[in-house]
Amino acid sequence: MSARLLRSVAIVASLTMISVTSSVWAEQPADHNTVVLKNFHFGPASLSISAGETVTWTNMDEEPHTVVSDAGLFRSGALDEHESFSFKFDKPGTYGFICSIHPQMRGVIVVK
Amino acid sequence: MKNSDHTRRDVLRCLGAGGAGTLFFLSGGVLTPAALARNADDRATPSGVPLFLQISDTHIGFKGAANPDVPGTVRRTVELMNTLPRKPGLVLHTGDITHLSKADEFDFAQQLLSDLHASEIHTVPGEHDVIDGPGKEYFDRFGGPSKNRGYYSFDHSGVHFVALINVMNFKPNGLGALGDEQLEWLEKDVRGLGSSTPIVVFAHMPLWSVYEPWGWGTGDADRAMGYLRRFGSVTVLNGHIHQIVSKVEGNITFHTARSAAYPQPAAGNGMGPGPLTVPMEQLPAFLGITSVTVREDAHAISLSDIPLA
């Protein structure tokens, strides 16, 4: 194979890799769908996602927390520090939740 | 012990001896402090007067920086209770027995508490004991006296004890709640008692507003206190906040206890009511129990806070 052809193949290959990698990242936006429990707050307090996506709540407080849906749709167990809970939202809607141990902690997932 | 028997100099001398306790005499609604040395002089308390002890917030299962060895401090707390001059008539645990409501945490807690030299232990749950919602592990073990409702009462040595539960129906603002059913039960429960009957109420969350932004209070506690105001001596013992805060309102003394596991910051001093890490050698001074003595005469209850060290 000539050097020029080899270089073209290499460029096309790397462009393909980048686009493939990008689409892989787009399918798994793990950081995008995360709610962090820290200092007795949900962060962000309001998170917008698309139907079919999964949200992961992670507790970063030394104090255990829970994630309990207002409508009774989901309930985590006790989340110790560094523990996580995930839930997949299939239907559009607005889903409020609290920590059942510290109910002044409140958040909402907006599913479009 | 009459207050007139102690001059101010005596009181200061006793306090200066590095005494560990705070003793208050409550008689007819007046709270008066008196000095108490670490190894209590038995002559200070009339013989034959029953002794109750309150332990709280043992949080079995906690492993954070604020206390990497909770079983150790809980064991030491049990030892402290067992080496007091008088064997307690009964022990109250005001909740957060476990940290995460897990079965093995409850098992271990029961094992540690079984070493207590007390003939009776009465409990109420904290919110850490009912994290699953219905509180299955708690009620399986401790639900008997209340038929799994969480509230109950009993009499001991002339004192009427009332156990209340305020951690099952939190209000959106984070305050505890008693609920109509429990309040109606309470009204009926004390209705027939003479006003001179000493009353001891125990519940996990404070039954008065200590600091509402952190959920340190019970939304409908005022209704409960309304049924109790006619009594000559009411003592309300709570836990939850892992520090001692006290208030006297007429004939009602409100008092929270230290934890046997870890302290928490004072109200508003930080991001929230989480564990407070102090230097390890200072930790025992922040942990402890409360001793409750009923005086033989005139319906008086004495409270004494005893730290672990």
Give this complex's ipTM.
Answer: 0.71
Tally of CB atoms within 10 A around A62: 17
**Residue where the block lists tokens 């991001």:** B271
Residues 80-99 (B) with a CB less than 8 A from some CB of A: 99
**Token reading at A66:** 């829970």
- The confidence score (pLDDT) of residue A13 equals 56
Domain ranges in chain A are: 1-28, 34-111
Q: How far is B214 from chain A (nearest CA, A)?
A: 8
Residues 143-172 (B) with a CB less than 8 A from some CB of A: 170-172
Question: What value does the mean pLDDT of chain B take?
Answer: 86
- Which residues of chain B are within 8 Å of residue A100 when distances are taken between CB atoms? 127, 131, 133, 170
- The confidence score (pLDDT) of residue B234 equals 96
Identify the CATH number of the domain in which residue B236 sits. Answer: 3.60.21.10
- The confidence score (pLDDT) of residue B169 equals 81
Option in B64, B127, B172 nearest A62 (CB): B64
Cβ of B66 under 8 Å from any chain A Cβ? yes
Residue B305 maps to a domain: no
Determine whether the interchain pair B132/A78 forms a contact, defined as Cβ–Cβ distance below 8 Å: yes
Residue B11 maps to a domain: no
Is the Cα dihedral B234, B138, B112, B217 positive or negative? negative
- The confidence score (pLDDT) of residue B45 equals 42
Q: In which residue ranges of chain B is pLDDT below 50? A: 1-22, 25-48
Q: Is the pLDDT of residue A10 over 70?
A: no
Structural domain containing residue B198: 50-293
Cβ of B219 under 8 Å from any chain A Cβ? no
- How large is the average pLDDT for residues A51-75? 94
> pLDDT tens, B23-62?
554 444 444 444 333 333 333 344 446 789 999 999 999 9
β-pair partners for A88: A54
> Which residue in B139, B137, B142, B106 sits closest to B122, CA to CA?
B142
Question: What gap in Å lies between CA A67 and CA A86, rounded to an integer?
Answer: 10
CB B23 within 8 A of CB B34: yes
For domain A34-111, give its CATH number from 3.10.450.50, 1.50.10.10, 2.40.37.10, 2.60.40.420.
2.60.40.420
> pLDDT tens, B183-223?
999 999 999 999 999 999 999 999 999 999 999 999 999 99
CB B142 within 8 A of CB B94: no
